[in-house]
Structure 1
Amino acid sequence: MKAFITTVLFVALFVFTSSCGGKKEDQDFGKKAAKESVQSETVASPMETKGKEIFEGKGTCATCHKPDVKLVGPSLKEIAKIYNEKKASIATFLKGNEKPLVDPSQFEVMKANFALTKNFTDEERQALEAYVLSQGK
């Protein structure tokens, strides 16, 4: 009887330890499909992608603007909301040909960046606009 109990405990211990620690990627329980569907909903256009690269790099915009939070300048969501409501052009503003719509009190700070944005190509300014407006979706 003692040998039987020992054998059962040994088998149970073997089954327990061999079932634990398996590859978790094999056991996604539908999570992989959910991740793929979320990613497919957030695919950016080539213009938005280029705009994001400019925003985070060459444009130095990320220094003062964040997607959801007002930093030095207004958040991208706030900018997108106002420009969409007023059907105005961010690209034209960045060229220096439009008055500030979002936070005129911060315009003096933004003016310093016009030295950069005025030298961007029209396509670069349009890409920045596409990226910023995409943040309001």
Structure 2
Amino acid sequence: MKKFIFLILFSILISCDKKESEAFGAASSKHETPIELGEKLFNGSGMCYTCHKPNQKIIGPSIIEIATIYKNNNASIVDFLRENAKPIVDPSQYEVMKTNFAITKSMKDHELEAIELYMKSFIK
């Protein structure tokens, strides 16, 4: 229980990072690819970077682990972020992740799809 409370407090603390963020739905530049938009959202207003790193577990699973499991299960990361699908990577971390659904639910579909493409770009 103490570990769970620490994880929540740590997530909140890190989420208060002073990093500049773009407004949801902001028009992307004409030359920005969906993967570039996904990277910008993942590392900016999406706040995903606070818990997920490319190839190491921090608070949440690594991007590579998430993308690989979703690819192998032919599942949708977007559906999970919309809370339309159950967690398949690490269900024990679901309660920690739920606090971020307020952010992902305010994103447009193309933004979530861009995040999914960005995450899947880490696997071959």
Q: Classify the TM-score, shorter chain.
A: 0.7 to 0.9
Q: 1:96 aligns with which of 83, 99, 104?
A: 83
Q: Give runs of aligned pairs for residues 108-119 of structure 1, distance below 5 A.
A: 108-119=95-106
Cα separation, 2, equivalents of 1:51 and 1:113: 16
Q: 2:111 aligns with which of 124, 129, 137?
A: 124
Mind listing any 5+ residue stretches in structure 2 that lack a counterpart? 1-31
Question: Would you say 1:135 and 2:107 are equivalent positions?
Answer: no
What secondary structure is seen at the aligned counterpart in 2 of 1:101?
Answer: coil
Structure 1's consecutive aligned runs of 4 or more residues displaced over 3 angstroms after TM superposition are none
Q: What is the alpha-carbon root mean square deviation over aligned residues?
A: 1.0
TM-score by length of 2: 0.73
Letter in 1 for 2:56: V
Cα separation, 2, equivalents of 1:136 and 1:117: 23
Q: CA deviation at 1:83?
A: 0.4
Q: What number of residue pairs does the alignment pair up?
A: 93
TM-score by length of 1: 0.66
CA displacement 1:2-33 (0-9 Å, x = unmatched): xxxxxxxxxxxxxxxxxxxxxxxxxxxxxxxx
Q: Tell whether the 8 Å contact from 1:51 to 1:124 is kept in structure 2 after alignment.
A: yes
Q: Which residue of 1 aligns with 2:58?
A: 71
Cα separation, 2, equivalents of 1:85 and 1:79: 10
Q: Give runs of aligned pairs for residues 23-102 of structure 1, distance below 5 A.
A: 46-102=33-89
Letter in 2 for 1:91: V
Cα separation, 2, equivalents of 1:69 and 1:114: 22
Q: CA deviation at 1:96?
A: 1.1
